[in-house]
Amino acid sequence: MSISSMVVDQYRGKEVTFIAQILQTAVNKDIISFAGGLPNPISFPQEALKESANRIIDTYGSSAFQYSNTEGLKALREFEADKLNKKLGLHLDAENVVITTGSQQSMDIIPKLFINPGDGIIVENPSYLGALQAFDYYRPTYYPVDLHEDGLDLEQLEEALQHDNVKFAYLIPEFQNPTGISYTNENRAEITKLLKKYNCLVIEDDPYGELRFEGEHGIYVGLGQYEKSALLGTFSKSVTPGMRLGYIVSEDKELLRYYAAVKENSDLHTNIFAQYLIWDYMTHNDHQKHIDEIVDLYRSQANAMLQAMEKYFPEGTTFTHPDGGMFIWATLPEGMKSLDLFPKAVEKLVAFVPGDPFYVHPENVRTMRLNFTNASPEMIDEGIHRLGDLIKEEMK
Amino acid sequence: MSISSMVVDQYRGKEVTFIAQILQTAVNKDIISFAGGLPNPISFPQEALKESANRIIDTYGSSAFQYSNTEGLKALREFEADKLNKKLGLHLDAENVVITTGSQQSMDIIPKLFINPGDGIIVENPSYLGALQAFDYYRPTYYPVDLHEDGLDLEQLEEALQHDNVKFAYLIPEFQNPTGISYTNENRAEITKLLKKYNCLVIEDDPYGELRFEGEHGIYVGLGQYEKSALLGTFSKSVTPGMRLGYIVSEDKELLRYYAAVKENSDLHTNIFAQYLIWDYMTHNDHQKHIDEIVDLYRSQANAMLQAMEKYFPEGTTFTHPDGGMFIWATLPEGMKSLDLFPKAVEKLVAFVPGDPFYVHPENVRTMRLNFTNASPEMIDEGIHRLGDLIKEEMK
């Protein structure tokens, strides 16, 4: 019996994931790639992290190298609790926070904890493909709710919430991945009302919240508004993704005790050196100043991409105008398909992620995700120029 | 609906795991604890790791902080492949190795890939509780095979292999956890024959293989003998567990491609800073010399525990005599139960892990796991003295 015939149905034939395929195609160094979701490496505070690495080894010695507890470093959990307390006037403590091996870990643990085959998950349509791909294993019934410029479609959401088998909603209200859309506060308040009405657990993912070009972070649909919720955060976008460090926060400590019990089976605990490192970095540096610098950088890159799109994209091509985050979501003229365009774009040495894997039921997908954080304004102009020319050619 | 009523059956009521409970009980600083499985912190090469941390930041800069690929750092994968090639005369390359977030990650990914509810897993009886606990979620049918002083019970193994639903065998032939037993090479050779005869995938876990006090590492039942196999290794016992760095090696590259696709859903990739760090450390230091020092330390601790057991344990109490690893497995006199003894031992300020969670079907368990690596010979003598006195009291 071959290995492939032995694997469970959910993985049969999925030796290589869609993301891996896309990234492989775009690995050519000459390609201008808007496909990834990588922070700009300029944004990593390397020298400060090096100082922290030396300081924590000198100060904490073997504790930074030994096995540790599943919930995570207490000082780091308290740091995150305090930050949210100050921001939201809450009374969280360390037991309201579990450190995760990247936010991605929650995409596996949450459905593992709650989903029997057929149970319902409410997701945005489109939603983060890394979440959908991880959820898929658990064979849920998806209830996709359309995302508009102002946020979730409330009628569709209420309809979805009426299904008895719904276990949780997974939402990214701030600089959504893939669209870059932020729900309005009015939209969020209505969502919270509906979640309460139907007593539905909400997992609110906020990886990009700190990366805001203008205005203020929207209200959370869960944390501080409604106890049956959990907030996912990460240090990947504001410090370093390579450390794989995220966290889950909830007012419901029982939820986090269950979470930790499941996490123990996956990795025992998150890298403790990394936890000391990030905690030391956060408490010894002006982190807000660092974020301001990243935001300035990303704002200029986003503007470069938007200006280039205005200039080079033909009529009939639309795109979102995010106030932060890392992505712009473009829609091709009617009749075109993003998946068809992709290989032609790669031939012209420019790459994006076709919208398809972000939908539960992709069909004639005209959308694409474009990342603006990992190329210079000049390269962005050149890449969008190439893409615009290609779209024009295809329209002929 | 409360959270506990929402979780899937496999986790219902398992807010706190057995391990977590045991460790909580034994957290009192005055307790002499043989309960953990912690390497001795003296064994962490802190200064060398500090040098490596500085060197990799200076040399690789942002690459050590950026997102990375799921399979792991190519240089580290090649390093492990080369090491095994030299040892076993194989021709492995980077594609035969995937870096894991601790070996524990495989305890979740392997069953996730292969087990539908009811599918069979062959395990040693007793086996590593962290594996059983992780496997449990996938609702397998276990086929436990008794472990004797010389290795697996071959008749029971063949019987188990005859079940059509068996997907893999999970074995720890070298310094088994919890028993400290190493299978003889004769026993291993017979196991390989049986695995081949029934064409059964074997997952061979070897976390303690480097920690040998005397003699040589036994032959692998899988790697180099039989292609349908995977070997699990770790840097936790010989460098640092806090980094959560392990690996899976297989001659079957298809198996590893599937593995990586599943891993992507769990954590995208393993901490890349840690991968650079361990690779740099391994290639800039005399690692064998470091291991020799750990082995000298652990040998003296194991001897201290064995001598104390001879001295203080009453007749009727038996125990294994490991040639390496971190654990001794003791069996109480007939009629006694380890779980009953545990709270009394904690009262006398000495702790161990009762044997119960290491069995698929625990019943009147008289065994216990004792770790010898994390206490001085004097403390070991004192702790075993207390435990011996307690057993004698209980026999009255």
pLDDT of residue B198: 98
Q: Could you say which of A50, A258, A267 has the minimum Cβ distance to residue B102?
A: A267
pLDDT over 70 at A71, yes or no: yes
Instruction: Sort A343 into a burial class: Cβ within 10 Å, 0-12 / 13-18 / 19+.
Output: exposed
Which element (helix H / strand E) includes A291? helix A287-312
What is d(CA A115, CA A108) in angstroms, rounded to the nearest whole number?
Answer: 11
The number of residues in chain A equals 396
A107–B242: do the CB atoms touch at under 8 Å? no
Chain B: give the shortest CA distance to residue A185, in Å. Answer: 27
What is d(CA A153, CA A351) in angstroms, rounded to the nearest whole number?
Answer: 31
| Tens-place pLDDT, residues A292-318 | 999 999 999 999 999 999 999 999 999
pLDDT of residue A26: 60
Question: Which of B13-22, B188-197, B294-303 bottoms out in mean pLDDT, i.e. has the lowest?
Answer: B13-22
Which element (helix H / strand E) includes A352? none
What is d(CA A256, CA B266) in angstroms, rounded to the nearest whole number?
Answer: 18
Buried b (16+ CB within 10 A) or exposed e, A305-338: bbebbeebbeeebebbebbbbbbbbbbbbeebeb
Chain A: give the shortest CA distance to residue B336, in Å. Answer: 30
| Tens-place pLDDT, residues A82-94 | 999 999 999 999 9
Q: What share of chain B is helix, strand, coil (3-state, %, to 5)?
A: 45, 15, 40
Q: Could you say which of B49, B108, B268 has the minimum Cβ distance to residue A104?
A: B268
Q: DSSP code of A8?
A: -
What is the rounded average pLDDT of the residues A48-72? 96
Q: Residue A396 — pLDDT band, cuts 50, 70, 90?
A: confident
A65–B57: do the CB atoms touch at under 8 Å? no
What residue in B sits closest to A24 (Cα-Cα)? B69
A267–B258: do the CB atoms touch at under 8 Å? no
A38–B252: do the CB atoms touch at under 8 Å? no
3-state secondary structure of B276: helix
pLDDT of residue A37: 86
The number of residues in chain B equals 396
Q: What is the mean pLDDT of chain A?
A: 95
Residue B134: its chain A contacts at CB < 8 A? 265-266
pLDDT of residue A12: 86
What is d(CA B61, CA A44) in angstroms, rounded to the nearest whole number?
Answer: 9
Q: Could you say which of A65, A262, A266 has the minimum Cβ distance to residue B11?
A: A262
Q: Could you say which of B44, B67, B107 has the minimum Cβ distance to residue A265?
A: B107
Of residues B203 and B19, the one with the higher pLDDT is B203
What is d(CA B148, CA B184) in angstroms, rounded to the nearest whole number?
Answer: 10
3-state secondary structure of B331: strand
Residue A16: its chain B contacts at CB < 8 A? 257, 261
Taking the alpha carbons of B324, B108, B262, A228 in that order, is the dihedral positive or negative? negative
| Tens-place pLDDT, residues B220-253 | 999 999 999 999 999 999 999 999 999 999 999 9
| Domains parsed from chain B with CATH numbers | 3-44+289-395 (3.90.1150.10), 47-284 (3.40.640.10)
Instruction: Sort A155 into a burial class: Cβ within 10 Å, 0-12 / 13-18 / 19+.
Output: exposed
What is the rounded average pLDDT of the residues B177-190? 98
3-state secondary structure of B167: strand
A66–B108: do the CB atoms touch at under 8 Å? no
Q: Rg for chain A (alpha carbons), in Å? A: 21
Q: Is B72 left (phi over 0), alpha (psi -120 to 50) or beta?
A: left
What residue in A sits closest to B243 (Cα-Cα)? A271
Which element (helix H / strand E) includes B32? strand B32-33
What is d(CA A134, CA A124) in angstroms, rounded to the nearest whole number?
Answer: 15
First-to-last alpha carbon distance for chain A, in angstroms, is 51
What is d(CA B236, CA B44) in angstroms, rounded to the nearest whole number?
Answer: 10
What is d(CA A202, CA B298) in angstroms, rounded to the nearest whole number?
Answer: 49
Q: Could you say which of B62, B240, B270 has the minimum Cβ distance to residue A65?
A: B240
3-state secondary structure of A143: strand
What is d(CA B274, CA B192) in angstroms, rounded to the nearest whole number?
Answer: 35
Q: Could you say which of A66, A68, A268 has the minimum Cβ distance to residue B104?
A: A268
What is d(CA A247, CA A262) in angstroms, rounded to the nearest whole number?
Answer: 15
Q: Is B268 left (phi over 0), alpha (psi -120 to 50) or beta?
A: left
Query: In terms of Cα–Cα distance, which of B101, B80, B160, B90 is closest to B125?
Result: B160
Q: DSSP code of A324?
A: B
B116–A252: do the CB atoms touch at under 8 Å? no
Side-chain-side CA neighbours of residue B366 (13 Å): 12
Q: Could you say which of A61, A105, A258 has the minimum Cβ distance to residue B46?
A: A61
Buried b (16+ CB within 10 A) or exposed e, B316-347: ebebbebbbbbbbbbbbbeebebeebbeebbe
Q: Residue B27 — pLDDT band, cuts 50, 70, 90?
A: low
Question: Which of A170-184, B14-28, B168-182 bottoms out in mean pLDDT, i.e. has the lowest?
Answer: B14-28
Under 8 Å between Cβ of A269 and A69: yes
What residue in B sits closest to A136 (Cα-Cα)? B265
What is d(CA B91, CA B81) in angstroms, rounded to the nearest whole number?
Answer: 8
What is the rounded average pLDDT of the residues B88-109? 97
Residue A56: its chain B contacts at CB < 8 A? none
Query: In terms of Cα–Cα distance, which of A58, A87, A104, A81 is closest to A280?
Result: A58
What is the rounded average pLDDT of the residues B175-197? 98
What is d(CA B123, CA B65) in angstroms, rounded to the nearest whole number?
Answer: 39
Under 8 Å between Cβ of A215 and A323: yes
Size of interface A-B (CB pairs under 8 A): 237
| Tens-place pLDDT, residues A203-248 | 999 999 999 999 999 999 999 999 999 999 999 999 999 999 999 9
3-state secondary structure of B224: coil
First-to-last alpha carbon distance for chain B, in angstroms, is 51
B115–A1: do the CB atoms touch at under 8 Å? no
pLDDT of residue A23: 65
What is d(CA B342, CA B344) in angstroms, rounded to the nearest whole number?
Answer: 5
Under 8 Å between Cβ of B168 and B106: no
Residue A107: its chain B contacts at CB < 8 A? 265
pLDDT of residue B26: 60
B116–A269: do the CB atoms touch at under 8 Å? no
Chain A: give the shortest CA distance to residue B154, in Å. Answer: 23
Chain A: give the shortest CA distance to residue B182, in Å. Answer: 25
User: Which residues make Cβ contacts (< 8 Å) with residue A160, sequence separation at least 6?
Assistant: A120, A122, A143, A145, A166, A169
pLDDT of residue B63: 95
Question: Which of A232-236, B20-24, B212-216, B261-265 bottoms out in mean pLDDT, i.e. has the lowest?
Answer: B20-24
pLDDT of residue B12: 87
pLDDT over 90 at A27, yes or no: no
Chain B: give the shortest CA distance to residue A39, in Å. Answer: 8
| Tens-place pLDDT, residues B334-351 | 999 999 999 999 999 999
pLDDT of residue A1: 72
What is d(CA A385, CA A379) in angstroms, rounded to the nearest whole number?
Answer: 10
What is the rounded average pLDDT of the residues B352-361? 95
Q: Note the helical H segments in chain B.
A: 3-6, 18-25, 46-60, 74-88, 104-114, 129-136, 154-161, 185-198, 253-267, 272-284, 287-312, 338-347, 377-395
B114–A7: do the CB atoms touch at under 8 Å? yes
Instruction: Sort B187 into a burial class: Cβ within 10 Å, 0-12 / 13-18 / 19+.
Output: buried
Residue A62: its chain B contacts at CB < 8 A? 41-42, 44, 46
Among residues of chain B, what percentage have pLDDT more than 90?
91
Residue A201: its chain B contacts at CB < 8 A? 3, 6
What is the rounded average pLDDT of the residues A240-263? 96
What interface predicted TM-score (ipTM) does this complex get?
0.96
Residue A46: its chain B contacts at CB < 8 A? 57, 61-62, 65
Under 8 Å between Cβ of B341 and B313: no
Q: DSSP code of B125?
A: E
pLDDT of residue A212: 97
3-state secondary structure of A197: helix
User: Which residues make Cβ contacts (< 8 Å) with residue B341, sequence separation at least 6?
Assistant: B332, B354, B368, B390, B391, B394
A50–B49: do the CB atoms touch at under 8 Å? no
Q: DSSP code of B219?
A: P
- Two tokens at A217? 């972070």
pLDDT over 80 at B19, yes or no: no
What residue in A sits closest to B252 (Cα-Cα)? A3
- Two tokens at B207? 């976390």
Q: What is the mean pLDDT of chain B?
A: 95
Of residues A319 and B13, the one with the higher pLDDT is A319
Q: Note the helical H segments in A29-103.
A: 46-60, 74-88
What residue in A sits closest to B131 (Cα-Cα)? A265
What is the rounded average pLDDT of the residues A336-349? 94
pLDDT over 90 at A183, yes or no: yes
Question: Which of A151-160, A170-179, A229-238, B23-32 bottoms out in mean pLDDT, i.e. has the lowest?
Answer: B23-32
